[in-house]
Chains A and B, each alone.
Chain A
Amino acid sequence: MRLLVSIGRAFLELIAAIGRIAIFAGQTLGHIVRGPFYLRELAISFLNIGWLSLPVVGLTSLFTGAALALQIYAGSARFSAEAVVPQIVAIGMVRELGPVLVGLMIAARVTSSIAAEIATMKVTEQIDALVTLSTHPMKYLTVPRVLAATIVVPLLVAVGDIIGIFGGYAVATGTLGFNPAAYIRNTLDFLELKDVVSSLVKGAMFGFIAALMGCYYGMNSGRGAQGVGSATKGSVEAAAVLILGANFVLTGVFFSL
């Protein structure tokens, strides 16, 4: 009986949390379309989320594309189908690995940073100070970050896709004996517009989720250092799970329905 009560309580808490996050997302979207807009904060968010994430996104994609080429070559060699390496690397990077890896990297780098920053602001009464200075915290803190992430993460995904494909190309032509021109031609011929569009849409959705979770957990953090730590940890966990869940749904929408 006690077990059932615990399960029921956990389920209700989960539903309540989903409701709170949905309300927060709705409020954020509402503030995105209504001024005032803080362009300086938006520009800083573009810089922090986009430009400063390029190194980690680039390196992650490069190594993943290279490893993918090696794996596909080793697997396809079992049934003499090594020629499919360019196509599978391209489709694997653009449809799945590019957006998911960039999304998870953004969750690790950006979501945690946003949550820790806003939670610290809350603990040190900076958010109360914003209110007393006639500045709406959601407009000043949440909107610039969520808007910037939603716009800039698709661009990061595009960069990640290209670098990942290049990683596969470098390994395939450098060590596996592929012809460079044929590799590029096969890659370009195989990719469809839908693949690229799905990649960018996933990027936008993952960026939205990553920034939203950082802001939500930051704004709702507990007190003290422990509160900041819990908010940071919770934001990354929630962002990662939601990104993977959203990826499954979007893959279904684009390629199965």
Chain B
Amino acid sequence: MIELIGVTKSFGNNHVLRGVDLTVDRGTSLVIIGGSGTGKSITIKSVLGLVTPDAGKITVDGQDVTQTDRDAFLARFGMLFQGAALFDSLPVWQNVAFRLLRGSLKRPKDEARQIAIEKLRRVGLTPDVADRLPAELSGGMQKRVGLARAIAADPEIIFFDEPTTGLDPIMAGVINDLIREIVVEMGATAITITHDMTSVRAIADNVAMLHDGVIQWAGPVGDIDTSGDPFLDQFIHGRAIGPIEAVR
């Protein structure tokens, strides 16, 4: 279980998180929604230790994330970045198997390559992609390679940062289905950040809406249409008029 209690983070005078309280149960898929610049990425980066909160507490399975062995802690996570964040200088298979080629999860090179090819196949990419460089792939293929890298070491917890941004609707649907399948198949705990309501309905067990630095609404995905929360209603229906200012 992942728990955030009163997490705050400011950058100068910009108070991004003003006290985020959030719980993600083990084996469930939470989607965080909210307008641009509301701190969704900062929230998941805080869990991973990429950003240090100013105050508050973050625990994973009851253990404070700042008190754990970093290597062992990070070995439990996989993350798909918004732009895939593939390493340009490495071929695709070495990107996917990055964690398996070094550190505590190191495997023999041939085995790591085989696992990478299997994970690539899992996300719908053929083995001939393995030896190409990331720059030779389309945006959708790069996202899928990023997804393969995120699941390469069979992590218990996976974060997806805007997994369908910039993709055409069909490719977005493919990525949504893959994420849902992988989460169910692996029994992983997942947190996804997205603006795309189609993705929300495809991926989420639970939804949390971040607004003005706090969790505005949280609940099961089935309740989002009947929540009665004006902020959530405005967001999911994409209305310009409502309590959320269109010009921020």
Residues of A within 8 A of B (CB): 36, 38, 121, 124-126, 128-129, 131-135
CB distance from B96 to the nearest CB of A (A): 11
Residues of A within 8 A of B86 (CB): 126, 129
> Would you call A125 and B103 a contact (CB within 8 A)?
no
B99→A133 contact, CB < 8 A: yes
Contact across chains for A132 and B83 when beta carbons are under 8 A apart: no
Q: Are B103 and A126 in contact (CB under 8 A)?
A: no
A18 to B50, CA, bound (A): 25
Residues of B within 8 A of A131 (CB): 48-50, 74
B66-97 vs A, Cβ < 8 Å mask (1 yes, 0 no) = 00001100110111011101111000000000
Contact assessment for B102 and A126 in the assembled complex, using a CB-CB cutoff below 8 Å = no
Neighbouring B residues of A134 by C-beta, 8 Å: 70-71, 74-75, 99, 103-105
By a CB distance below 8 angstroms, the chain A residues around B71 are: 134
With A124-B85, A125-B83, A126-B87 already in contact, the answer to whether A132 and B102 are too (CB < 8 A) is no
Question: In the complex, what's the smallest C-beta–C-beta distance from A62 to chain B, in angstroms?
Answer: 32
Chain A residue at smallest Cβ distance from B101? A40
| A135→B82 contact, CB < 8 A | no
A224 to chain B, nearest CB (A): 13
The answer to the question of B160 belonging to the interface, with a C-beta cut-off of 8 Å to chain A, is no
Instruction: Looking at the assembled complex, report how far the CB atom of A204 sits from the nearest CB atom of chain B, in whole angstroms.
Output: 26
The complex places the Cα of A38 from the Cα of B78 at a distance, in Å, of 22
Counting contact residues on chain B (CB < 8 A from A), the size range is 20 to 34
CB-based closest 5 A-B pairs: A129-B85, A125-B85, A134-B74, A132-B79, A125-B81
B interface majority secondary structure = mixed
Docked pose: A124 CA to B83 CA in angstroms: 7
Q: What are 11 A-B pairs with beta-carbon distances under 8 A?
A: A121-B87, A125-B83, A129-B81, A129-B86, A131-B50, A132-B50, A133-B99, A134-B71, A134-B75, A135-B102, A135-B103
B104 contacts across to A, CB distance below 8 A: 134
Least CB distance, B199 to chain A, in whole angstroms: 20
Contact B85 A128 (CB under 8 A): yes
Q: In the complex the two chains form, what is the Cα distance from A36 to B105 in whole Å?
A: 13
Cβ B82 vs Cβ A132 within 8 A: no
Docked-complex contact B103 and A128, CB < 8 angstroms:
no
Nearest-Cβ distance from residue B65 to partner chain A, whole angstroms: 13
Question: Is A36 in contact with B45, judged by CB distance below 8 angstroms?
Answer: no
Query: Of B48, B87, B88, B103, which is within 8 A of A132 by CB?
Result: B48
Inter-chain contacts of B45 with A (CB < 8 A): 128
**Shortest beta-carbon distance from A100 to chain B in Å:** 31
A36 touches B79 (CB 8 A): no
| A residues less than 8 Å from B88 (CB atoms) | 126
User: In the complex, what distance in Å separates the CA atom of A135 from the CA atom of B88?
Assistant: 16
A36 to B49, CA, bound (A): 20
Q: How many angstroms between the C-alpha atoms of A123 and B82 in the bound complex?
A: 12
Residue with the greatest number of chain B CB neighbours at <10 A, chosen from A38, A124, A126, A132: A132
Residues in B whose Cβ lies below 8 Å from that of A38: 102
Q: How far is the CB of A193 from chain B (nearest CB, A)?
A: 41
Say whether, besides A36-B103, A128-B45, A128-B50, A133 and B98 are in contact (CB < 8 Å): yes
Given the known inter-chain contacts A134-B74, A134-B75, please indicate yes or no for A128 contacting B102, CB distance below 8 A. Answer: no
Using CB atoms, name the residue of chain B closest to A126. B85
Q: Which residue of A lies closest to B79 (CB)?
A: A132
Q: What's the Cα separation between A131 and B78 when bound, in Å? A: 11
**A residues near B78, Cβ cutoff 8 Å:** 132
Q: How far is the CB of B159 from chain A (nearest CB, A)?
A: 8
